[in-house]
Structure 1
């Protein structure tokens, strides 16, 4: 069991590395480029920075919760309230990412219109859809885990 969770933990870290690099190197250049395209909107780079860093914080929080969930599995505490809370936090983080991108879609439209890059809107929609899928999946797992914990506690009381 530990070998499988170790593989998943490594995968979580590998998922975090490109987003961390993007936050350090890519996001400031994206904000500078947007400021160059729209000199009349002096606050646009700040909105872009805030939006992207909020989504990055939610993403890293969800990855941390995934690591906690894997450690609960290693410790045979998979069927516990701690696991339910981790799944709940992952769900909230995914909804946050979707919400920020839905709110930022008009800005993406402006940038795509000026830069003549309609694929940018598609990328935003893919991010919204993917995070909604993760949120719904986490919600389903949370309900299933809650049901399993309730059944387990009923069986423990019966014996």
Structure 2
């Protein structure tokens, strides 16, 4: 049953990654065919670049999640699992940092378009990445001490 669950999680990672790659490729070709209005380019291109830069740590995290699943299935040492968890935490923090870094440009777009919800909508991925990082911190503490926090 455990092997089946790990296989399901590996396939889930694959089915999440492939559409993201296809959507990113379609976005590049669509942007090349229809460039942004030059009046708004100074605030839209940094946002678009930030979204594409955030894909790098996201795919890096997916790769390390796959490695973690293989480590769990292969009964690897706790030290290796702990190293993978620390890399996952760093990747998720970098992912959140990219979104926070591009937030001033999103603020300008939201002011220009009179869409204040865009600011909150753009912070949602950073918020979930920070939650993921906090959960990983709990797992890292568990691996280091050998027990769950608070017990």
Alignment TM-score, normalising by the size of structure 2: 0.82
Q: What's the Cα RMSD here?
A: 2.6
Runs of 4+ in 1 over 6 A off after TM superposition: 30-34
- Give the deviation of 1:52 after TM superposition: 2.0
Judging changes above 3 Å, is the alpha-carbon distance between structure 1 residues 34 and 109 closer, same or farther for their aligned structure 2 residues? farther
Given candidates 57, 80, 84, the residue that maps to 2:78 is: 80
1:5-154 to 2 correspondences below 5 Å? 5-26=6-27, 29=30, 35-36=36-37, 38-39=39-40, 41=42, 45=45, 47-77=46-76, 79-148=77-146
Structure 1, gaps ≥5 residues long: 150-159
Judging changes above 3 Å, is the alpha-carbon distance between structure 1 residues 146 and 28 closer, same or farther for their aligned structure 2 residues? farther
Alignment TM-score, normalising by the size of structure 1: 0.79
Judging changes above 3 Å, is the alpha-carbon distance between structure 1 residues 22 and 113 closer, same or farther for their aligned structure 2 residues? farther
How many residues get paired?
A: 146
Q: Give the secondary structure class of the aligned counterpart of 1:36.
A: coil
Rg larger for: 1
- Give the deviation of 1:17 after TM superposition: 2.3
Judging changes above 3 Å, is the alpha-carbon distance between structure 1 residues 40 and 48 closer, same or farther for their aligned structure 2 residues? closer
The CA deviation string for residues 18-52 of structure 1, in whole angstroms up to 9 with x for no partner, is 321232123565698784163573x852x334422
